[in-house]
A = this chain, B = another copy of it.
Amino acid sequence: MVEQITSMDVDFAQWYTDVVLKAELVDYSGVRGCMVIRPYGYAIWENIQKDLDARFKALGHENVYMPMFIPESLLQKEKDHVEGFAPECAIVTIGGQNQLAERLIVRPTSETLFCEHFKSIIHSYRDLPKKYNQWCSVVRWEKTTRPFLRTSEFLWQEGHTMHETEDEARTETQQMLGVYADFYRDTLAIPAITGRKTEKEKFAGAEETYTIEPMMHNGVALQGGTSHYFGTGFAEAFDITFTGRDNQVKYPHQTSWGLSTRSIGAIIMTHGDDNGLILPPRIAPIQVVIIPAAQHKEGVLEAANALKDKLAGKFRVKLDDSENSAGWKFSQYEMKGVPVRLEIGPRDIANNSCVLVSRVTREKKFVSLDNIMDEVQAMLDQVHNELLARAQKNLEEKTFEAHSYEEFLDIAANRPGYIKAMWCGETGCEDKLKDVTGGVKSRCIPFHEDHISDVCVCCGKPAKHMVVWGRQY
């Protein structure tokens, strides 16, 4: 039998650990805080990469590769940036058996390296915009780590762009956040709140940080991706200038945006259930698993193989013709979150039909083999829509409005989820709310703010914004 996993309702954290290990997404490594991403987990990341990369390239972005090391003096050029990242750096001090003259930081993010390069290639408005992206791994020394959610090393993409005008750079920043939101919804079947970060929660060195904040099944937020507008801060620190159309020397306007393997954590915790993983069809490494019934009977495996070959022209499909029992196979591929199970046995073959089973609803559908391509596509789309609707319902049901300080504390203590509440704009109130609730922080000022009351939920002074608050991974 497939081993049991802990129930979500009993212990969500243990459920998560059980799923990532038993679905064979990751293995622990002997390296502190670093994970081994196993074939099934990495295949998800490859599908994420393929989807996002096409979106980036369609908008004119080009991929590059920067060094993995940052000389310490380079990291220190932008003051806010180094303050933000210095505490969590891994530092190379020895190379080729010698103490290095200058210490090298293993990149926690690559703004500084891109700036150094931009300085060498940007001279005129004709050199702009530069719209670059990089797929790589980065290192941030984390105290407590969990696979995908928080690891000392993680995989991500980081976009870095330079523009002639503030307008163009701000448009880029929001456009890329939009790309992330589209990707989460249309590819991962994950709805989310989007908006901008408060001053306190901004990226180190950014003028503005936009974020996508999907809610996990248990009501906790996961920062799903961020997009930053830097103004000309880095350009000034790195002395990057260009001659404009008006022959004046100016600083270019900069953005960066990133999305990481944390998104796999979001998939797991948004869609999974007590039987294991449920993968959104558009990134599932196996979209359809074929499980033959009575496979020793004449003609069954031939029919299953023929069906596999046919489906493989359009779908990612696997036939399990191992000697394991059908019951074991059902559990195994449920654990692995395969969206659609296809059962075929002697009676189905005689009827020119087969059975499709949705991983989400477990609904069984008897379909004719004549329409099998359309039927499979339809069930994959149905699974996507079911997942999205279910997650949307969860998000809505676990989003509350707080009209007063007391109500805020009550919700924070008793109802896991997001809290919509008004805010005066002062960091002090954010700090206080976080302290008294033991960790409820501002997620973002959403693009669409509701008017809940006139005053800050914390201090009672006039409110400037509605903020979405919540605990986070």
Contact = CB atoms under 8 A, between A and B. Distances in A.
Interface residues of A, number: 56
A426 to B, nearest CB: 30
Interface string A92-129: 11111100000110100000010011001100000000
Contacts of A29: 66-67, 113, 116-117
A207 B126 CA distance: 55
Contacts of A62: 39, 42-43
Contact of A31 (B39, B45, B71): B71
Given A29-B66, A63-B39, A89 B93 contact: no
B89 A96 contact: yes
If over half of A's interface residues share one DSSP class (helix, strand or loop), that class is named, otherwise mixed; here it is mixed
A117 B27 CA distance: 8
Contacts of A68: 34, 68, 106, 137, 139, 153
Interface in A14-58: 27, 29-32, 34-39, 42-43, 45-46
B65 A31 contact: no
B117 A34 contact: no
A115 to B, nearest CB: 11
A357 to B, nearest CB: 26
Interface of A: 27, 29-32, 34-39, 42-43, 45-46, 62-71, 74, 86-97, 103-104, 106, 113, 116-117, 120-121, 132, 136-137, 139, 141-143, 152-153, 155
| Closest 8 pairs (CB-CB, A-B) | A34-B67, A96-B141, A39-B62, A37-B65, A91-B94, A31-B67, A95-B141, A93-B93
